[in-house]
Chains A and B, each alone.
Chain A
């Protein structure tokens, strides 16, 4: 268990700036996920924590001590790679024992022939064997220990990679998209397993993914990254319920958030499809803002008050079993909207039918022309507290 503290980490590859001064504090035993589209710098950041890549500026501290000068294995971190990175010519047992033989045996005790001279070697190897067996039992790998990686399925390889990380009992686990190569069903299963493993080990986890579902389901906190900067850092529900910017709102949540334009009228009042709303924002008159409405916030409108409404035409129904996702086209807009609906509601709407959709105005997120969140007047701080970060921007 250890804290991880990054301060103004910067990194460029040639003339391409990958990270622009990232600050991040990860608490002891926390499960923190770095999420973002590919090329946002999240993998580079985790490799800098591991020491596999050297930052151009800033510093990394693990457990309160600066580790910038330490080589990867001296940082007491373990890493699980997307490709699992198992040693192809070694058995599962040898793969898992390797980190321990490296740390517990001296160089000469590992050399061919010379190692036969060492009296303690046998005893150390017995201890390593016992540790490997213990971890293998935890991960249900006991029966696979003598196989080569090429004889294992993707899920089993994933487990061996985890086991190899666990035998060292590191302070920090670094995971670089570990579930990306698994099939959908196994991925859902491994999500639960990883979350439980984190609880059991109590170690600090730093997890990199481009899949927002993984980020939402497993993490204590999520750092959403884009273009080498952290856009927002918070709990999964904070990111979902109070996205700090348009990019965060678009990335988090599935189906993607609905975005509709509104204009600012006199007194900051918003005008939506030509009708005035109760919502008012601190923005100049005449400005165009974007309303973000989650698909579950939309419903069929029946002319209630306090709710904004607009007309839409049903394009397609998607049946998910327990619920439907309805896709609507809007007249005069290229982008449609999606709405979650119960099977009963969905049955009441016919394809190509024109209906009125409405939403609770307080559930709408307002984003300014620059993409930043605008808090409507008299509503600030309603849901939790948010830490919007615009580092390096």
Chain B
């Protein structure tokens, strides 16, 4: 928006234009800061609550720092009463499993849709786009029945299987691969590579930004997923973070908000750290594929 305001300012006097530029900067940053506060407030509230004693949590005044630091008690209570590391490990297993299979399937699919000529390619791509419109709740029932018949409820597999095929990943990678030069693919064909080798040895190494971006999307979605695990998991040992939190809240700690937010902090931390590490690549991937 700052750039948009500039051309209009060109015709007026320099002092005027500096002022206008300054004002537009304030406006833009004001809007962005408001948005940031809106999104960060729950996080900050969670962090603050996790170090407050119960008496302060329910006090009427709003304070951003507790009078009495109660963090150690809250965190140790949460760690003692709930197998938080187990929940986190479950989360890691599920997210890694889902992501691996998603990449293994989506990358060759996307390559075929982007670079191979075969009859019905466009129709298939339209189907992929339509697939984007179907929410997970729609096939939940048949999937549940199938898993129940196969005796696979209450397994890691049952939590992962509905997400193995990601149409979003296919779409994202297809957009990315379309800009990959055809000449390089042809050179690889002349050098004797099969299409599979071209996908994994030539095209995929160039797609790291897109892979990083998709990994963040996928991990965040499945780390935080409550809906599907709630349906297929009843064993607390297999629970991923949100379901674990629910089991934890249901039991004796139902009203101990300090301990609850401490547990929530522990379970959100890995994601926040992972995102901060992959931030640069995530942003590259999003901007390069033109998906926003």
A73-B192, A102-B192 known; A79 and B187 CB under 8 Å? yes
Interface status of B252 (Cβ within 8 A of chain A):
no
Give the interface SS of chain A, mostly helix, strand, loop or mixed: mixed
Interchain CB contact (< 8 A) of B191 among A83, A89, A102, A110: A102
Interchain CB contact (< 8 A) of A52 among B184, B186, B191, B206: B186
Complex contacts, B181 vs chain A, CB 8 Å? 83, 85
Interface status of B190 (Cβ within 8 A of chain A):
yes
Interface status of B202 (Cβ within 8 A of chain A):
yes
A87-B202, A88-B206, A89-B206 known; A72 and B183 CB under 8 Å? no
Interface status of B189 (Cβ within 8 A of chain A):
yes
- Smallest CB separation, A349 vs chain B (Å): 49
Interface status of A179 (Cβ within 8 A of chain B):
no
Interface status of A98 (Cβ within 8 A of chain B):
yes
Interface status of A71 (Cβ within 8 A of chain B):
yes
Q: Are A87 and B184 in contact (CB under 8 A)?
A: yes
Complex contacts, B7 vs chain A, CB 8 Å? none
- Smallest CB separation, A204 vs chain B (Å): 16
Q: Are A81 and B189 in contact (CB under 8 A)?
A: no
Complex contacts, B206 vs chain A, CB 8 Å? 88-89
Q: Are B191 and A98 in contact (CB under 8 A)?
A: yes
Interface residue range, chain B: 10 to 19
Interchain CB contact (< 8 A) of B186 among A79, A84, A103: A79
Interface status of B188 (Cβ within 8 A of chain A):
yes
Complex contacts, B184 vs chain A, CB 8 Å? 85-88
Among A79, A85, A103, find the residue whose CB has the most chain B CB atoms closer than 10 A.
A85
Interface status of B232 (Cβ within 8 A of chain A):
no
Interchain CB contact (< 8 A) of A50 among B190, B192, B193, B202: B190
Complex contacts, A50 vs chain B, CB 8 Å? 186, 190
Which chain B residue has the least Cβ–Cβ distance from A170?
Answer: B190
A77 to B184, CA, bound (A): 16
Q: Are B188 and A87 in contact (CB under 8 A)?
A: yes
A83-B183, A85-B184 known; A72 and B202 CB under 8 Å? no
Q: Are A78 and B192 in contact (CB under 8 A)?
A: no
- Smallest CB separation, B100 vs chain A (Å): 15
Interface status of A99 (Cβ within 8 A of chain B):
yes
A73 to B189, CA, bound (A): 7
User: Quick one: which of A263-315 are within 8 Å of B by CB?
Assistant: none
Complex contacts, B193 vs chain A, CB 8 Å? 73, 102
Complex contacts, B191 vs chain A, CB 8 Å? 73, 98-99, 102, 164
A89 to B204, CA, bound (A): 10
Complex contacts, A86 vs chain B, CB 8 Å? 184, 187
Interface status of B290 (Cβ within 8 A of chain A):
no
- Smallest CB separation, B185 vs chain A (Å): 8
Among B188, B197, B205, find the residue whose CB has the most chain A CB atoms closer than 10 A.
B188
Complex contacts, A88 vs chain B, CB 8 Å? 184, 206
A50 to B188, CA, bound (A): 12
Interchain CB contact (< 8 A) of A73 among B190, B202, B205: B190
A78 to B181, CA, bound (A): 18
- Smallest CB separation, A350 vs chain B (Å): 49
Which chain B residue has the least Cβ–Cβ distance from A103?
Answer: B192
A88 to B179, CA, bound (A): 14
- Smallest CB separation, A53 vs chain B (Å): 9
A99 to B188, CA, bound (A): 8
Q: Are A72 and B190 in contact (CB under 8 A)?
A: yes
Which chain A residue has the least Cβ–Cβ distance from B200?
Answer: A112
A83-B181, A83-B183, A87-B202 known; A78 and B190 CB under 8 Å? yes
A383 to B187, CA, bound (A): 42
Interchain CB contact (< 8 A) of B190 among A79, A83, A110: A79
Among A77, A86, A99, find the residue whose CB has the most chain B CB atoms closer than 10 A.
A99
User: Quick one: which of A72-113 are within 8 Å of B by CB?
Assistant: 72-73, 77-79, 81-89, 98-99, 102-103, 110
Q: Are A72 and B205 in contact (CB under 8 A)?
A: no
- Smallest CB separation, B205 vs chain A (Å): 4
- Smallest CB separation, B161 vs chain A (Å): 27
Complex contacts, B187 vs chain A, CB 8 Å? 79, 81, 85-87, 164
A299 to B190, CA, bound (A): 52
Complex contacts, A85 vs chain B, CB 8 Å? 181, 183-184, 186-187
Q: Are B188 and A52 in contact (CB under 8 A)?
A: no
Q: Are B202 and A77 in contact (CB under 8 A)?
A: no
Complex contacts, B186 vs chain A, CB 8 Å? 47, 50, 52, 72, 79, 81, 85
- Smallest CB separation, B206 vs chain A (Å): 6
Complex contacts, A83 vs chain B, CB 8 Å? 181, 183
Complex contacts, B183 vs chain A, CB 8 Å? 81-85
Complex contacts, A99 vs chain B, CB 8 Å? 190-192
A343 to B181, CA, bound (A): 49
- Smallest CB separation, A82 vs chain B (Å): 7
Which chain B residue has the least Cβ–Cβ distance from A83?
Answer: B183
A52-B186, A81-B186 known; A89 and B205 CB under 8 Å? yes
Q: Which residues of B contact A (CB under 8 A)?
A: 181, 183-184, 186-193, 197, 202, 205-206
| Contact sample, A vs B, 23 pairs, CB 8 Å cutoff | A47-B186, A50-B186, A52-B189, A71-B189, A72-B186, A72-B189, A72-B190, A73-B190, A79-B187, A81-B186, A81-B187, A82-B183, A83-B183, A85-B184, A86-B184, A86-B187, A87-B187, A87-B188, A87-B202, A102-B192, A102-B193, A110-B197, A164-B187
Q: Which residues of A contact B (CB under 8 A)?
A: 47, 50, 52, 71-73, 77-79, 81-89, 98-99, 102-103, 110, 164
Taking A82-B183, A99-B192, A103-B192 as given, write out 5 further A-B residue pairs in contact, using a Cβ cutoff of 8 Å, ordered by the A residue number. Answer: A81-B187, A84-B183, A87-B184, A89-B206, A98-B191
Q: Which 5 A-B pairs have the closest CB atoms?
A: A73-B192, A102-B192, A85-B183, A85-B187, A99-B191
